[in-house]
Amino acid sequence: MKTQDNSQDRIPKTAKSNIDDIMRIEQEFLQQRSFGDRLSDRVSALAESIGFIGAGRVKLLVWIGWPAAGERIRGCCRLPWNC
């Protein structure tokens, strides 16, 4: 009895050929993209990252909390135009 499950053996040859063709077409498409397309993909990947989202949340909390904390700690104005 064969204990290893080799998924390559279960895929019909026509299906494997179709998958290989799709992979080849995808690779050709990715190589033919313009500079703008590649740049927009990288910017989108950065904007979707958890680190970028977390940094934005931290920045927002600091932006909201800084004036209130500064007034209590250092005695400075909460808003710059009230000084």
pLDDT tens by residue, 3-42: 555 555 688 899 999 999 999 999 999 889 999 999 999 9
Average pLDDT, integer, range 42-66: 91
Q: What's the pLDDT at 51?
A: 94
Long-range pairs for 28-34 at CB < 8 Å and ≥24 separation?
A: none
Structure-token pair, residue 34: 């313009």
- What element of type H or E holds 16? helix 13-31
Per-residue pLDDT tens digits for 56-73: 999 998 888 877 766 666
pLDDT at residue 80 tops 70: no
Domain boundaries, the chain: 12-48, 50-83
